[in-house]
Amino acid sequence: MSLGRRVHITTLGCRLNEAESEEWAERFRDAGFRVVDADSPADLVVVNTCAVTQEAVRKSRGVLRRSQRANPGARLIVSGCLATLGDSAVSAETGVDLIVANRDKDRLVEIALATLSLPAMPETAATDAAGALFARGRQRAFIKIQDGCRYSCTFCITTVARGAERSRTHAEIIRAIDRLVEQGIREVVLTGVHLGGYGSDLGSNLVDLVARILGETEIPRLRLGSLEPWDLGDAFWRNFEDPRLMPHLHLPLQSGSDRVLRRMARRCKTAEFASLVEQGRARVPDINLTTDIIVGFPGEDAEDWARTLAFAESMRFGHIHAFAYSPRVGTRAAEMPSRVDGKTQRERLDALRDIGLRMRHAVLREQIGRTVEVLCEGNPDGERRETRFGYTPNYLPVHVAAHEATIDGNALVKVALTGLDSEGRTLIGRPIDPRDQRTGTPG
């Protein structure tokens, strides 16, 4: 590999950014570049930024500056939401050679090669995308299936940053998954800005796509990324009859108060959300449901907050991603009156996190005595260990401890769940002979 062909990609923000960065890495490798980690010198640095909150903007700009200091001679490419929403601010950063807005993300490598006069050298290409994932400690691959959103929640800048909905074709997605399967990837996560809106521009939908993936690929485990709790009809649940579609859904609630949900311009009210949860649990045994909740949204009073706490607890979530509201310039919510003060936000956040931890502990305890298949993390390089970390099909963390056999990375291992760790936040499991118990049944 000649000098000048080392590229480092830094990703901030959502799983969609992760999926895009993985695609860039594969295309750079196809063009003869070597993708290196943050500790290695790089000739080209690509930063995939986030701007969903003002804090994300601050972090993204900080990463740009650190990247320049770490590789002062490298060419710097900036993309993502900060590059799209704050083009002039990013341009002012010293050392930025190229800005690629979200609308051109899918062509970033092509644009970089042409604009920065970087000739492709396919004869030196390294095509082991899976190996690169494992080397970064990543076990599952993210596949971007759509971009953009047709809705405008008042707190969200993503609609502005990502634009109109655009979907990839079934064929393109299936080819991407087939390549990963050939390279040894065992789990794929479908991602998008509005995942449930997939296919609105193609005359298709998410249900049909998932059915085709399960029918036409050999991916052992398929997951869905964050999914808005609407547009999920009865046909959606039928895909879970195939055990390769993992029984975990992340359904953002955002608030348990209908009054606050109206101010957020959310399309799913609490009664509809509860009905969806009930339907999911009836149709998909052992499904794990997780969520997002914004604390201290403008106008959220004590009664609203009490409703949110009570509703969240009644849903028995396996995890709550709770975060305090912060105004994002360019959103309608940023102009709303009746801000909730910081002290009240922190108190509410602590109360919600306590409830979240109790619910998560209860969900974990319900798994004890079951037999499940765990995807063990780590590089499948023959380095066999007596303990491994991994996730159950319903995305619960497990420490797998082998007493007689050792476990390689990227292995699907049938495990008996025997207890919890000392903090009560991770399951403990032991590998078993698959003839001893049936997957998913109590011990």
Sign of CA dihedral 174, 179, 182, 184: negative
The residues with which 294 forms a beta bridge, in sequence order, are 323
What's residue 133's pLDDT? 58
- The vertex-317 CA angle with 387 and 186, nearest 5°, equals 40
**Token pair in block for residue 187:** 């789990």
Q: Tokens 């649940």, residue? A: 237
In whole angstroms, give the CA distance from residue 31 to residue 335. 46
CB-CB contact of 413 with 373 (8 Å): yes
What's residue 41's pLDDT? 84
CB-CB contact of 149 with 165 (8 Å): yes
Biggest CA–CA distance in the chain, Å, is 65
Residue 436 has pLDDT above 50, yes or no: no
- CB pairs under 8 A, 24+ apart, for 350-353? 351/309, 352/293, 352/295, 352/308, 352/309, 352/312, 352/320, 352/322, 353/320, 353/322
Q: Which stretches of 128-223 are DSSP H helices?
A: 129-135, 158-162, 170-182, 206-216
DSSP 407: B
Predicted confidence band of residue 191 (pLDDT cuts 50, 70, 90): very high
What's residue 64's pLDDT? 85
DSSP 424: S
What's residue 172's pLDDT? 95
Q: What is the mean pLDDT of the chain?
A: 88
Neighbour-count burial of 9, counting CB atoms closer than 10 A to its CB (0-12 exposed, 13-18 middle, 19+ buried): buried
CB-CB contact of 409 with 376 (8 Å): yes
CB-CB contact of 244 with 220 (8 Å): yes
Mean pLDDT of 8-23: 89
What's residue 176's pLDDT? 92
Residue 213 has pLDDT above 80, yes or no: yes
CB-CB contact of 365 with 437 (8 Å): no
Domains and CATH numbers, the chain: 6-124 (3.40.50.12160), 136-246 (3.30.750.210), 250-367 (3.30.750.200), 371-431 (2.40.50.140)
What's residue 234's pLDDT? 87
What's residue 381's pLDDT? 65
What's residue 439's pLDDT? 43
66-84 residue pLDDT tens: 888 888 888 889 998 988 8
What's residue 441's pLDDT? 43
**Token pair in block for residue 424:** 């009560």
Mean pLDDT of 280-309: 96
Q: Which stretches of 265-327 are DSSP H helices?
A: 270-283, 302-315
331-377 residue pLDDT tens: 999 999 999 999 999 999 999 999 999 999 999 999 999 999 999 88
What's residue 279's pLDDT? 95
pTM confidence score: 0.87
More confident residue, 442 or 133: 133
In whole angstroms, give the CA distance from residue 26 to residue 296. 41
80-108 residue pLDDT tens: 898 888 755 666 566 788 889 898 999 99
Sign of CA dihedral 104, 106, 109, 111: negative
In whole angstroms, give the CA distance from residue 11 to residue 21. 7
- Best-predicted range by mean pLDDT (21-25, 238-242, 373-377, 400-404): 238-242
In whole angstroms, give the CA distance from residue 192 to residue 196. 9
Residue 295 has pLDDT above 90, yes or no: yes
Q: Which residue in 292, 294, 270, 291 sits closest to 345, CA to CA?
A: 294
Mean pLDDT of 56-73: 85
In whole angstroms, give the CA distance from residue 139 to residue 135. 9
In whole angstroms, give the CA distance from residue 387 to residue 400. 5
Mean pLDDT of 377-391: 78
In whole angstroms, give the CA distance from residue 261 to residue 268. 8
Spell out the residues 6+ positions from residue 441 whose beta carbon is closer than 8 angstroms to its own: 370, 371
Q: Which residue in 33, 204, 4 sits closest to 126, CA to CA?
A: 33
240-282 residue pLDDT tens: 999 999 999 999 999 999 999 999 999 999 999 999 999 999 9
**Token pair in block for residue 43:** 């000739």
Predicted confidence band of residue 417 (pLDDT cuts 50, 70, 90): very high
More confident residue, 379 or 227: 227
